[in-house]
Structure 1
């Protein structure tokens, strides 16, 4: 075997190996939730989703719709408009990144006690490019995990 041909094969194998390794770092999928000890989510009836001021994608509406679909009456709007009858104030943090298109890489939803802001329950969904989900799917995943407990990892 000629030395030049052998070097080309080695370089090709190395390139394929590096490519495969780079893909393994792109497929991260994590979904978690936690409830503060002593919190009874079934006792919460009325929810209010606080809209983040910079949110131009309507994530607050997706969360509100998701809670309504689960049978929890929910309204949404700015923090100062929260109704007095709300049993839980819902806040969220969404993180978006670019990978050929913009997509939501992470969503955290927190149920808080009105007045104090104390966290009652929190759920998180994190999906990188290869396991990405739509914003609606991320909201559904987080809410499902909060109410039903996070899946075992």
Structure 2
């Protein structure tokens, strides 16, 4: 059957497959400082990014509360400060390409833990799913460390 096709067509077909193969990128990682006990963290303050026009901070706050953590309006009574960087990309519509969330010590801004999620257009996720993925990777386990087990 393949002998019926011209060699140029086969080369073009292979090139298309090679290009399409590289279009889907999925990456989800997390690192926790080995001296950090995440289970001691109960109250978080999410510091809104100056560049954020899509209220990603609210999505993070809602997810933290949904998994049993408390969210503080100010960093004064927080056990940790959450900072984040969200990158958006245009491909017919805007979508969140990458999200990095960092858990920081409120006393010295030291990064206690960090998580990242990146999904290109073909494997894109909603901002809510990206936040879910990053927080789940940071606070590993069936029951999130430090969260109240109310459910």
Asked whether the equivalents of residues 43 and 80 of structure 2 are also in contact (C-alpha less than 8 Å), the reply is yes
- In the alignment of these two chains, the number of paired residues is 138
4+ aligned runs moved over 6 Å, structure 1: none
Bigger-Rg structure (1/2): 1
Secondary structure of 1:19's counterpart equals helix
> Aligned partners of 1:9 and 1:101: how far apart in 2?
38
Residue 75 of structure 1 deviates from its aligned partner by 3.6
Match of 1:73 among 57, 70, 74: 70
Residue 103 of structure 1 deviates from its aligned partner by 0.9
Residue 115 of structure 1 deviates from its aligned partner by 2.5
1:113-153 CA-to-partner distances (Å, cap 9, x unmatched) read 0031000010000111111111000000000000007xxxx
| TM-score normalized with structure 1 length | 0.85
Residue 73 of structure 1 deviates from its aligned partner by 0.6
Select the structure that is richer in helix.
1
Where do 1:19-34 residues align within 5 Å? 19-34=16-31
Q: Which runs of 5+ in 1 are unaligned?
A: 1-5, 77-81
Match of 1:94 among 68, 83, 86: 86
